[in-house]
C-alpha cells in the first residue's frame, strides 16, 4: 500500500470512529497485494490503483459499520466476489462470525485463499447459488445481517436476502446516488417476503461520487415458497 493510500485509510476510518491498528493495516495491505496478484489471472476487480482500491473497496465496505449500534452476532454476504464488504468488516471486527456465498468456483477459491493468508477464524465460504443456500434449513432465518454489493436490483435482492434473515435482522444494500425507483419497484416483493425499508442513508467516501445505503428490516417470517428456484427471482421479479 502506498503511503498516500495508507494515510487515506487510517485518517478516514479514524474520523468515522473506526481506528485501525498496525496489525489491521498490515492485513489490508496483504489483502490488496493478493487481490492484485490473483487479478492477473481472474477478473476480480477492474480497479488497479491502490488509492482507488482503498476508496472503492475498503472504505466503501467499512462504511457499513457506521450503521451498527453494536457488532452483529452473525453476518452473511451474498455474491461475495473478491470479499467486499464482508472481509474488510471481518478484519476490523475479528469476533464477527461471517459466511460468504459465492457461486463462481474461482472466486470462492480466492476467498478461501485470503481467509488462510490473513489467518481469519470463524469465516465460511459457501460455493453455491444463493437460491440453494436460502432453502437450506441450517442457513434459513439464521442471520442478523445480510450484506450484498452490486448483486442485483433491490426487488430481486430481497428475495435472496430475506429468507436468510431472522425477524428483526437487516439487509444492508449499497446502491447508487438515488435508489428511489428501485425502492418503489421493490414494494410488492417486500410485502410478500416480510420486509420493509427502514432507511436510505447517504454514503460519502473521500473523492468518490455520493452513493446510498438502503437498509431493509425483516418484520415477519418469510414463506417457505421463497426463494424460488435457481434463476427465477432474476427472470421474474416479484
Per-residue pLDDT tens over the stretch 131-160: 999 999 999 999 999 999 988 999 999 999
Q: What are phi and psi of 8, to 5 degrees?
A: -60, -45
Phi and psi based region of residue 222 (left: phi greater than 0; alpha: psi -120 to 50; beta: remaining): beta
Quote the CA–CA distance of 227 and 160 in Å, as a whole number: 6
Q: Which domains does the chain have, with CATH numbers?
A: 70-235 (3.40.50.150)
| Range of lowest pLDDT (7-21, 45-59, 72-86, 190-204) | 45-59
Would you tell me the crossing angle of helices 105-117 and 22-39 to the nearest 10 degrees? 150
C-alpha distances in Å from residue 64, one per residue of 88, 147, 170, 201, 219: 10, 9, 12, 10, 21
When pLDDT is cut at 50, 70 and 90, the band that residue 41 belongs to is confident
Quote the CA–CA distance of 99 and 135 in Å, as a whole number: 16
DSSP three-state, residue 125: strand
**DSSP structure class, residue 170:** E
Q: Are strands 143-148 and 165-175 parallel, antiparallel or unpaired?
A: parallel
Within 10 Å of residue 164's Cβ, how many Cβ atoms?
Answer: 27
Within 10 Å of residue 15's Cβ, how many Cβ atoms?
Answer: 10
* pTM, rounded to two decimals: 0.95
Give the contacts of 68 (CB within 8 A, at least 6 positions apart): none
Task: State the pLDDT at residue 43.
Answer: 83
C-alpha distances in Å from residue 87, one per residue of 18, 92, 115, 155: 15, 9, 8, 25
**What is the average pLDDT across 51-58?**
93
Amino acid at each position: 500500500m502506498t503511503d498516500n493510500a495508507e494515510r487515506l485509510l487510517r485518517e478516514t476510518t479514524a474520523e468515522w470512529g473506526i481506528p485501525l491498528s498496525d496489525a489491521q493495516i498490515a492485513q489490508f495491505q496483504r489483502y490488496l497485494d493478493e487481490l492484485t496478484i490473483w487479478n492477473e489471472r481472474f477478473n476480480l476487480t477492474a480497479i488497479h490503483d491502490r488509492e482507488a482500491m482503498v476508496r472503492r473497496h475498503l472504505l466503501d465496505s467499512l462504511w457499513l459499520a457506521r450503521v451498527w449500534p453494536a457488532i452483529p452476532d452473525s453476518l452473511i454476504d451474498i455474491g461475495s466476489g473478491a470479499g467486499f464488504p464482508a472481509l474488510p468488516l471481518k478484519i476490523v471486527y475479528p469476533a464477527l462470525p461471517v459466511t460468504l456465498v459465492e457461486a463462481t468456483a474461482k472466486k470462492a477459491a480466492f476467498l478461501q485463499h485470503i481467509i488462510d493468508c490473513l489467518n481469519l477464524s470463524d469465516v465460511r465460504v459457501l460455493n453455491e447459488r444463493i437460491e440453494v443456500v436460502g432453502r437450506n434449513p441450517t442457513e434459513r432465518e439464521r442471520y442478523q445481517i445480510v450484506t450484498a454489493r452490486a448483486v442485483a436490483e433491490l426487488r430481486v435482492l430481497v428475495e435472496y436476502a430475506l429468507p436468510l434473515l431472522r425477524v428483526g435482522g437487516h439487509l444492508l444494500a449499497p446502491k447508487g446516488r438515488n435508489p428511489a425507483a428501485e425502492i418503489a419497484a421493490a414494494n410488492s416483493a417486500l410485502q410478500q417476503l416480510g420486509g420493509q425499508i427502514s432507511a436510505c442513508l447517504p454514503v460519502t467516501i473521500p473523492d468518490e461520487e455520493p452513493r446510498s445505503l438502503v437498509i431493509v428490516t425483516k418484520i415477519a417470517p418469510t414463506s417457505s415458497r421463497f426463494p424460488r428456484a435457481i434463476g427465477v427471482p432474476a427472470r421474474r421479479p416479484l
